[in-house]
Amino acid sequence: MDPRNSRGQYKTQPAGDHVPMVYVRGAGTPCYVTEAVYRAQGHKPAFEDLPTEDEYDANGPTDGG
């Protein structure tokens, strides 16, 4: 997914040793990517600035989407 045309919506906070994921949507099919892939591909906003899935569900998207 091209980070210029996509945007992270929220991050997961898995229990135990599971990998954090980010839900990304934009150009193409929305998908989950790992935190490492999200950072490596330069998606916006920064991983640290993403709401958790629960925060996203409670407040909705903040980018008009």
DSSP state of 16: T
The dihedral of CA 43, 58, 21, 1: what is its sign?
negative
Residues shown for the chain: 65
pLDDT in tens, 33-47: 999 999 999 999 999
- Give residue 8's Cα distance to chain centre: 3
- On the question of pLDDT at 28 being above 90, the answer is no
Residue listed under structure tokens 């950072």: 39
Residue 1 has a pLDDT of: 64
CB atoms within 10 A of CB 21: 19
Other C-beta atoms lying within 10 Å of the C-beta of residue 20 = 15
